[in-house]
Structure 1
Amino acid sequence: MTVTVTIYDVAREAGVSMATVSRVVNNNPNVKPQTRKKVFEAIERLGYRPNAVARGLASKKTTTVGVVIPDISNSIFSEVARGIEDIANMYHYNIILCNADKRKEKEIRVINTLLEKQVDGLLFMGGAVTEEHIQAFKTSSVPIVLCATADENNTIPSVDIDHEKAAYDAVQVLIQNGHRSIAMISGSLQDPANGYARYQGYKKALEEAGIALSEDLVRVGNYRYESGSEATKYFLELPQRPSAIFAATDEMAIGAIHTLQDNGLRVPEDVSVISVDNIRMASMVRPTLTTVAQPMYDIGAVSMRLLTKLMNKETKEGDLTQVILPHEVIQRNSVAHV
């Protein structure tokens, strides 16, 4: 049976007061080096671990941040999470990462669970921010930052890219290469960022080029490989197949490329493909995928840094809390001139 070692045991072992042990554990500079050494030696001998819960109750801080991730299996979110964790470690915060499976009811439940655990701040990553989310956020007494998404009215601090402009720039690449029949594999139009905003960017680029929007050339996917493949099968059954496909995510674009190749078509000679994200697989697929890169690591890192400022009350009125990071077109080999 394991016996729990307490701060009292450490104090007795080191021959000091409990207050001195507490000062050492909390890195208080007002302790003599010799005394500090004695306390650390006692901690090591006894295998003492400070009680984070008790310390949190005393300081009213848990040094823990809750992170809601929409889909832990999606590589793009893992890159955001890496940026979050690196900055969290730099500022001595731990993170609790919760997967919400892109389901609104689970997202709300996870948000409430993390707030009940007395986290010092919350990062909500990706997905649509609905009125139900806003209501859950309003019950929070700690700062919240939206990461890789934003609410419709920009009332909550957020870090993201301009999704409409990213999609517009991708479609511009196709138009500049002579394409006029351009299909789109969209995300959910209920998703304001990856879905609706990217659809709006596609639509705007076509309108500016004088190309009529055809609903037959738009299919809604779920951001994953399989939905990109299914949408492409649909395009190939049209009386006149498109000369190019813009996919809202790289994963759907890779599904499109493989389906085109499975049907005996060459990419980009027969059909060009472009997308948004720049996941690692974009440079591994053949042909390599031309895409608009989101700075996913930076989105995570900047979100976490903004949250640390809010948690530590470092921000002043008028400080920028809606941050838009730049995107970049990465030219590879999946787009041809026609």
Structure 2
Amino acid sequence: MTVTIYDVAREAGVSMATVSRVVNNNPNVKPQTRKKVYEAIERLGYRPNAVARGLASKRTTTVGVVIPDISNAIIAEVARGIEDIANMYHYNIILCNADMRKEKEIRVINTLLEKQVDGLLFMGGLVTEDHIQAFRTSNVPVVLCATSDVEQSVPSVDIDHQLAAYDAVQALITRGHKKIALISGVLEDLTHYYQRYLGYRKALEEAGIPFREDYVRIGNGRYESGLEVMNYFMELEDRPTAILAANDEMAIGAIHTVLDHGLSVPDDISIIGIDNVRMASMVRPRLSTVAQPMYDIGAVSMRLLTKLMKKEHVEEERVILPHELIIRDSIAEA
């Protein structure tokens, strides 16, 4: 049978209020009494009922985290940042995978809110009006992690994706490249891939390089689409000399396609990605990329959420963290 707080009180010879104070680390308990209660707890194997405590205090010290794809290499770093700060502030984490499907994301958001979480971190891609409506029905704070909404109406922590792509293309332009192609993700993702597309176009425009429709192709963010799109570029009569891939996974696919055609990266074609996943430094040639501070994005998101949950003063609800251009072996002079 389940051991209750009443059983512990009877075993220790104290009141239930005293047991409650001990369990909740209230300092107003004599050391001798505290020792008796802990001994009773150990003998009976008592575990406090978190649900009951949450109902009484209206706080569950639990945060719900919605992640887009548990197999994504960069999610683990973000989640570690979230967890480290959550532990520091004594919050538990419920991590839910939404498989990059909008209907599942909405369902998971509502399920977590029904679980009476104290706050919600949403780590996804496109934030639609349906997402915003789900957030609005919440009576707990919500922070967007590694994404943002178009209207910037929800607190968020991210990088400047347009500037990240701009810097990547600039690295190619300064090495003399003028035939620069883009392997993009879906442009309907207005806060990530579309912004990277805009950064690509802006860099070309500022350098006086004409934009070419045939130098832009859409992938799905996966390695296989990097292979496929790069095959298309390899067949062009006027082949590009450099490629920006909107993420590292597609960039690695592009590298392998070039090598499969018997050509060299970077001697024949330079390739640069965005994200700086671990595999970027393991592939040969090592991939040049733009690093997102994924751990910091997770940590800062969780810290922002703790401030909102505790109703502390927040100076800025939209946080943009710096990215870093990392030059390795996959780009060279044109």
Q: What's the TM-score bracket when you normalise by the shorter of the two chains? A: over 0.9
Residue 322 of structure 1: which of 318, 323, 333 is its match? 318
What residue is the counterpart of 1:198 in the other structure? 196
Q: Is the 8 A contact 2:149 2:191 kept in 1?
A: no
Matched, 1:210 2:208: yes
Residue 243 of structure 1: which of 241, 244, 247 is its match? 241
Matched, 1:93 2:91: yes
Tell me, what secondary structure is at the counterpart of 2:169? helix
Tell me, what secondary structure is at the counterpart of 1:107? helix
Residue 333 of structure 1: which of 320, 325, 329 is its match? 329
Q: Is the 8 A contact 2:150 2:191 kept in 1?
A: no
Equivalent positions of 1:62-211 (< 5 A) are: 62-211=60-209
Counterpart code for 2:47: R
Counterpart code for 1:27: N
Number of aligned residue pairs: give it: 334
The C-alpha deviation readout for 1:98-142, integer Å capped at 9, x for no partner, is 111111111111111111111000001131111111111110000
Counterpart code for 1:134: I
- Across the aligned residues of Structure 1 and Structure 2, the Cα RMSD in angstroms comes to 0.8
The C-alpha deviation readout for 1:68-120, integer Å capped at 9, x for no partner, is 10111001111111100110011000111111111111111111111111100
Tell me, what secondary structure is at the counterpart of 1:132? helix
Structure 1 CA distance, aligned partners of 2:37 and 2:238?
Answer: 78
Structure 1 CA distance, aligned partners of 2:257 and 2:317?
Answer: 42
Structure 1 CA distance, aligned partners of 2:233 and 2:138?
Answer: 46
Structure 2 CA distance, aligned partners of 1:38 and 1:284?
Answer: 56
Q: Identity across aligned pairs (percent)?
A: 77
Counterpart code for 1:57: L
What residue is the counterpart of 1:222 in the other structure? 220
Counterpart code for 1:321: E
Counterpart code for 2:157: V
**How many Å apart are 1:194 and its aligned residue?**
2.3
Tell me, what secondary structure is at the counterpart of 2:80? helix
**How many Å apart are 1:193 and its aligned residue?**
2.6
Structure 2 CA distance, aligned partners of 1:259 and 1:47?
Answer: 60
**How many Å apart are 1:212 and its aligned residue?**
1.0
Structure 2 CA distance, aligned partners of 1:35 and 1:337?
Answer: 75
What residue is the counterpart of 1:26 in the other structure? 24
Tell me, what secondary structure is at the counterpart of 1:36? helix
Structure 1 CA distance, aligned partners of 2:259 and 2:43?
Answer: 64
Counterpart code for 1:209: A
Counterpart code for 1:251: E
Structure 2 CA distance, aligned partners of 1:210 and 1:278?
Answer: 29
Structure 2 CA distance, aligned partners of 1:218 and 1:51?
Answer: 56
Q: Is the 8 A contact 1:194 1:248 kept in 2?
A: no
What residue is the counterpart of 1:262 in the other structure? 260
Q: Is the 8 A contact 1:253 1:273 kept in 2?
A: yes
TM-score, normalising length: structure 2: 0.99
Structure 2 CA distance, aligned partners of 1:36 and 1:277?
Answer: 51
**How many Å apart are 1:215 and its aligned residue?**
1.2
Q: Once superposed, which parts of structure 1, at least 4 consecutive aligned residues long, lie more than 2 Å away?
A: none
Q: Is the 8 A contact 1:88 1:94 kept in 2?
A: yes
Tell me, what secondary structure is at the counterpart of 1:49? coil
Where in structure 1 are there 5+ consecutive unaligned residues? none
Residue 36 of structure 1: which of 21, 34, 48 is its match? 34
Structure 2 CA distance, aligned partners of 1:105 and 1:118?
Answer: 21
**How many Å apart are 1:213 and its aligned residue?**
1.0
**How many Å apart are 1:274 and its aligned residue?**
0.3
Tell me, what secondary structure is at the counterpart of 2:74? helix
Counterpart code for 1:239: E
Structure 1 CA distance, aligned partners of 2:173 and 2:255?
Answer: 19
What residue is the counterpart of 1:12 in the other structure? 10
Equivalent positions of 1:55-66 (< 5 A) are: 55-66=53-64
Counterpart code for 2:16: M
Structure 2 CA distance, aligned partners of 1:252 and 1:38?
Answer: 61
Q: Is the 8 A contact 2:79 2:295 kept in 1?
A: yes
